[in-house]
Amino acid sequence: MNYKKCLLLALTLVLLSSYGKSQSANSQNKYTSFSPGEIWKDDRGVHINAHGGGILYHEGTYYWFGEHKGERSNAALVGVTCYSSTDLYNWKSEGIALSVSENPESPIVKGSTIERPKVIYNAKTGKFVMYFHLELKGRGYEAAHVAVAVSDQVTGPYNLVKSGRVNAGVWPMNMTEEQRTSTVQPSEFEQWWTPEWMAALKEGLLLRRDFEGGQMSRDMTLFVDDDGKAYHIYASEENLTLHIAELTDDFLGHTGNYVRVEPGGHNEAPAVFKKGGQYFMITSGCTGWAPNAARLLTADHIMGPWTLHPNPARGEDAGLTFHSQSTFIIPVQGKKDAFIFMADRWRPDNPIDGRYIWLPVLFENGLPVLTWFNEWNLNIFDEINPDSNTPKG
């Protein structure tokens, strides 16, 4: 082979190699499956920063809202992020949906705690409404507030409307008259967590304590039912009891209709979905940043009564929910009874490196089952046999 032919061949190989590398680089962020626990890059090639998040599906697009975390702090130093996707695999950064404030008098001043943001759309008002758990700067977790923000655009900017405790001066619908009028006070107990204290807690000890000022609201989610009514589900009573509260028609406040769920059960991280007329809620226990076994509850009505079932996770590390904690359940559009369990694997020493655990919600005898997959895609919902059984109590 002569010199010119050799040179031409060499140049051709270089060009083909460069083209291949370019194609490979361009396709690196084009995902076609989920890989739970792995780095998940957005359209910019940056690990998605949307922790404790939730998904809103609006006009053909999924929007993922979550906590922006830093490398050394879980405090809100930036705000709530937003990403968009049409396929659930590939996500485009839409920037900061809700920014922290530089005003030291603002409840959401830089350095406050903003957790578990969720956004729902109100078709009557045309507004997008965000709720999140808010703790005031420098006060640890004593405030236990919920905050409400609104926007005319799904990606924001969202503006804070109000924040504070929940359902002040209102009794739960499922609290008896005897529980409401009990005179037992927290001061009567020298220690918490004794059997006597726990029995009093279940009868409303802490709810009565907070009655006038409003109930605590920490880990939370939102749920919009088929009839358009929306509900705020949150950990209350020092994280020992869940509350489910109905929202007003504009989604900006509470109607006063609410119930206690699993008093003394110590549940947080609620995630709610509905299938075949049944309501399902997956929660976690309260062990700080450390994982624990998930809990499952079911009901025939969103306001209960709710029935507790065993841990829905199966297999290795099921007792730690695969080292993750629930945050939301995503209904997959276009696929009947297809849902994705959305959870966080926290990294408190390097919060920004927190990983996302997304797994298909499968069903067995009418109840959700969570099984680990190193990699999976949405075709699983077409391949499995549907389970239309009704959960047994």
Q: What is the pLDDT of residue 392?
A: 66
Q: What are the tens digits of pLDDT across the range 376-391?
A: 999 999 988 677 677 7
Q: What are the tens digits of pLDDT across the range 83-139?
A: 999 999 999 999 999 999 999 999 999 999 999 999 999 999 999 999 999 999 999
Where in 239-322 does DSSP place strands (E)?
A: 241-247, 254-261, 268-275, 278-284, 295-299, 307-309, 313-314
Give the distance, in angstroms, between the CA of residue 362 and the centroid of all CA atoms in the same chain.
19
What is the SS3 assignment for 323-380?
CCEEEEEEECCCCCCCEEEEEEECCCCCHHHCEEEEEEEEEECCEEEEECCCCECCCH
Q: CA 236 to CA 251: how far, in whole Å?
A: 20
Does residue 140 fall inside a structural domain? yes
Does residue 223 fall inside a structural domain? no
Question: For all residues of the chain together, what is the average pLDDT?
Answer: 92
Domain of residue 95, CATH code: 2.115.10.20
Residue 29 — pLDDT band, cuts 50, 70, 90? low
For residue 100, what is the DSSP state? Answer: P
79 contacts 70 by C-beta, under 8 angstroms: no
Alpha-carbon Rg for the chain, nearest whole angstrom, is 23
Q: What is the pLDDT of residue 20?
A: 35
Does residue 149 fall inside a structural domain? yes
Q: Which residues pair with 274 in a beta bridge?
A: 279
Give the distance, in angstroms, between the CA of residue 68 and the centroid of all CA atoms in the same chain.
14
Domain that holds residue 154: 36-164
Does residue 326 fall inside a structural domain? no
Q: CA 193 to CA 262: how far, in whole Å?
A: 16
| Of residues 329, 330, 325, 316, the one with CA closest to residue 374 | 316
Q: CA 163 to CA 77: how far, in whole Å?
A: 18
Does residue 58 fall inside a structural domain? yes
Compare 246 and 8 and report the one with higher pLDDT. Answer: 246
Beta-carbon contacts of 262 under 8 Å, excluding residues fewer than 6 positions away, are 241, 242, 297, 306, 308
Q: What are the tens digits of pLDDT across the range 215-239?
A: 999 999 999 999 999 999 999 999 9
Amino acid at 348: P
55: how many CB neighbours lie within 10 A of its CB? 22
pLDDT for 21 beyond 70:
no
pLDDT for 12 beyond 80:
no
Angle at 131 between CA 267 and CA 60, to 5 degrees: 105
Number of domains in the chain: 1
DSSP per position, 60-99? TEEEEEEE---SS--S-SSEEEEEEESSSSS-EEEEEEEE
Q: What is the pLDDT of residue 13?
A: 31
Q: Which residues pair with 232 in a beta bridge?
A: 222, 245
pLDDT for 175 beyond 80:
yes
Q: How do strand 278-284 and strand 313-314 relate by DSSP bridges?
A: unpaired
Residue 383: exposure state from Cβ atoms within 10 A (0-12, 13-18, ≥19): exposed
Does residue 141 fall inside a structural domain? yes
Q: CA 80 to CA 132: how far, in whole Å?
A: 10
pLDDT for 16 beyond 60:
no
| Of residues 275, 276, 198, 267, the one with CA closest to residue 233 | 267
Does residue 345 fall inside a structural domain? no
Q: What is the pLDDT of residue 8?
A: 34
290: how many CB neighbours lie within 10 A of its CB? 12
b/e map 247-280, b = 16+ CB within 10 Å: beeebbebeebbbbbbbbbbbbbbbbbbbeeebb
Does residue 144 fall inside a structural domain? yes
